[in-house]
Amino acid sequence: MRHSPFTFLRPFVLFALASLVLLSVSRLGHTLWLWERVAPTDGLLFILLQGVRFDLVVLGMLLFFPASLTPLMVQTRLTSSAWWRFIQLYLSLAFGVVALLELSTPGFILQYDARPNRIFFEYLLYPKEVFSMLLTGYKLELVLGVGGALLAGVLMWRRLGREREELAARPHPWQVLLLMPVLVLALAFAVRSTTDHRPVNPSTVAFSADALVNTLPLSSLYNVIYAGYETTREDDTRFVYGQMPLEEATRLVRGDLVTTVQDAEIPTLHAQQASVQRERPLNLVIILEESLGAEFVGSLGGLPLTPNLDRLSHEGIWFERLFATGTRSVRGIEAVTTGFTPTPARAVVKLSRAQRGFFTLADLLSRRGYDTSFIYGGESHFDNMARFFTGNGFQRIIDQNDYPTPVFKGSWGVSDEDLFNRAHEEFLAAGDQPFFSLIFSSSNHSPFEYPPGRFEPYEPEPATVNNAVKYADYALGMFIDKAKQADYWDNTLFLIVSDHNSRVYGDDLLPVERFHIPGLVLGADTRPERIGGIVSQIDLPPTLLSLMGISSEHPMIGRDLTREDMRSLPGRAIMQFFNTQAYMHKDQVVVMRPDKPAQQFVYRDERLHPTELDPALARLALAHQVWGASMYRDGRYRLPQQQPATSD
């Protein structure tokens, strides 16, 4: 049967029109929902028109191969029947995926203040934990998302099924020769969407100072696809914000360091002399609290949810203006265990070249005879933690499989009580063996599950972030009280710090205040002190080494805040918000985005106010990104092969 040469395009046109309607309606709905943030940008028309443009980009990606090959595949009756069945299945599944991601978007925005991105497909690597979380805390969202996606797929399947007889039509061979190159060029142009040197990308529609609003012209499927593409460009992140010779970047980055070792292989390797002299260096315990933002901490002006931490803040070194480097747990782990700066790529915990021979405190301390361990209540394979830790100096890992009779077990593992009880047992058993342990809590993680009856809830509904924070504080207080009565207390330094904030959101390009987290050093002979200047998470590891009484050579560029000359320097912090990075120097903040010129702001009243760009500060900001990405790529953030075990 020979009909119009364009008959075979009908399924693809039908799919494209249905997708455009679905995505446009979804985009309009999200825009109206977020109208308070959209209205100041005066960008409604821009969002809707550019949205169609980027929807065509996605359609070009989805249809490029099936549509281009169809004229060839339907030339015989045998291949034609099988091919059209494949197309019916493919387009139905694709339409279901489009619907699923759009239906998932509101929940994702509420959690991350962003469209679904690489976090979305990273979570798919851990279906057990994530599905358990969804069943426990997001039943309605799960039903609506999966149900809506299935409905969309079924409707598309049935509609395409009605085209069966017409799809038996086959174009003439000469029509194939004409149509295939035209289709290839048309769909390729749809993907590029421009005749410029570079194809369109999210920077094309970065028209406002609100990062979330900038994603509204995109579809969630496009955002996920582009995030996946970015993860393949790890080697290119040296110059994602601009170009700078590595020599210049290294010189600027190590400007605060002293007695820098001239080592071409490890450019920032330097000798750190401990400011506290000890006959025997202290043990170290880092307690990484899940999602504990400053807004939950009474001592930082937040809600009265952390009475134990507030009490303890008067017993040690309390950081009043400590800023996280990122928005994910792996970013916090990266900062406090390696002192490494954030980059636009994923945290080094998940990057292939950092799985062996990458500097960590565990590597440094294990070379000095310390027992090094990671104690976690969940499954340590999550976010690639176990692989990274075992390859970089952590000798033992304790996870949820090592708690035979837990008090409570939720979606993300055993409770913080179980976690701290096990840690206490480990430390008691250590005896005279020096130890370093990273304890990572998980009770304050959606869907906020914890054992009942432990404390007076902050609000009636139990499964809320505020109640989960209060439970986590309860468990922490119980542990510290027990530790104070134990023999190891006088020989151990404790750092209590958050990995990141619970939710990072806002209409600034980078919501600085949402990176504000608590940090406290106590134990042993630590004297109470409050540090009011800006501090970054990367400053904590060098400071801990000095307080422990350990002098060493290492590549960390963080500041030893026990030293007056370091503390007198203007405070600075580096923060990564998806593909946006900020460098804060006192109240000046340089914000860098891919393929966009750097912008400078004054941070005042918890908001960013535009100001004139300081070229020198912009170069310093760029230097930190170029240096970090290059050190990772070239394998030069590490310890020398032989490290002297000095500890005086």
DSSP of 210-251, one letter per residue? -HHHHTTTS-HHHHHHHHHHHHTTGGGGGGSS----HHHHHH
> What proportions of the chain, in percent to the nearest 5, are helix, strand and coil?
50, 15, 35
pLDDT of residue 1: 44
- Has residue 65 been placed in a domain? yes
Name the residue range of residue 98's domain: 7-232
> SS3 for 38?
helix
Tally of CB atoms within 10 A around 451: 18
Give which of 565, 603, 574 is closest to 587, Cα–Cα. 603
Tokens of 238: 């040296």
**What span, in angstroms and rounded, lies between the C-alpha atoms of 87 and 11?**
8
342 assigned to some structural domain:
yes
Q: Is residue 367 part of a domain?
A: yes
Per the DSSP assignment, residues forming a β-bridge with 591 are: 582, 599
One domain for residues 218 and 303: no
Q: Verify that 226 and 273 share a domain, yes or no.
A: no
Residue 556 shares a structural domain with residue 476: yes
Please compute Rg for the chain using Cα positions. Answer: 27
Instruction: Give the end of a domain, one of 232, 255, 279.
Output: 232
Query: 75 and 207 in one domain?
Result: yes
- Of the residues 232, 253, 284, which one is the last residue of a structural domain? 232
Q: Which residues contact 183 (CB under 8 A, 6 or more apart)?
A: 67, 68, 71
Written as one string, the DSSP assignment of 54-111 is HHHHHHHHHHHHHHHHHHHHTSSHHHHHHHHHHHHHHHHHHHHHHHHHHHHHHHHHHH
Within this chain, do residues 18 and 164 fall inside the same structural domain, yes or no? yes
3-state SS assignment for residue 309:
helix
Q: Are residues 184 and 280 in the same domain?
A: no
Tell me which residue has tokens 């914890």. 450
Q: Does some domain include residue 514?
A: no
Compute the distance between CA of residue 201 and CA of residue 517 in angstroms, rounded to an integer.
33
- The answer to whether position 341 is within a domain reads yes
The CATH number of residue 455's host domain is 3.40.720.10
Residue 303 and residue 186 share a domain: no
Looking only at the bridges linking them, the beta strands covering 396-398 and 552-554 are unpaired
Specify the pLDDT at position 514: 94
Find where tokens 């955002």 sit. 223
pLDDT at 235: 54
Q: By the 8 A CB rule, do 375 and 437 touch?
A: yes
Residues 217 and 321 occupy one common structural domain: no
Domain count, the chain: 2
For the stretch 599-603, contacts whose Cβ atoms lie closer than 8 Å and that sit 24 or more positions apart, written own/partner, are 599/509, 601/508, 601/509, 603/512
Residues 301 and 199 in one domain: no
In whole angstroms, what is the distance from residue 6 CA to residue 9 CA? 5
Whether 632 is covered by a domain: the verdict is no
Please, how many CA atoms are within 13 Å of residue 223, restricted to the half-sphere of its CB?
A: 28
The answer as to whether 476 is a domain residue is yes
Question: Which residues of the chain, if any, have pLDDT below 50?
Answer: 1-2, 644-648
Q: Identify the pLDDT of residue 505.
A: 80
- Paired with 574 in beta bridges are 583
Which of 232, 253, 288 corresponds to the end of one domain? 232
> Has residue 616 been placed in a domain?
no
Instruction: Report the alpha-carbon distance of residue 335 to residue 576 in Å, rounded.
Output: 12
Cβ atoms 521, 547 nearer than 8 A: yes
C-alpha–C-alpha distance, residues 412 and 431, integer Å: 31
Burial code of 474-510, b = ≥16 C-beta within 10 A, e = fewer? Answer: bbbbbbbebbeeeebbebbbbbbbbbbbbbbbbbbbb
Q: What is the 3-state secondary structure (H, E, C) of 501-564?
A: CCCCCCCCCCCHHHHEEEEEEECCCCCCEEEEEEEEHHHHHHHHHHHHCCCEEECCCCCCCCCH
Same domain, 331 and 389: yes
- Considering the domain architecture, whether residues 486 and 546 belong to the same structural domain is answered as yes
- Is 553:269 a contact under the CB 8 Å cutoff? yes
Same domain, 210 and 356: no
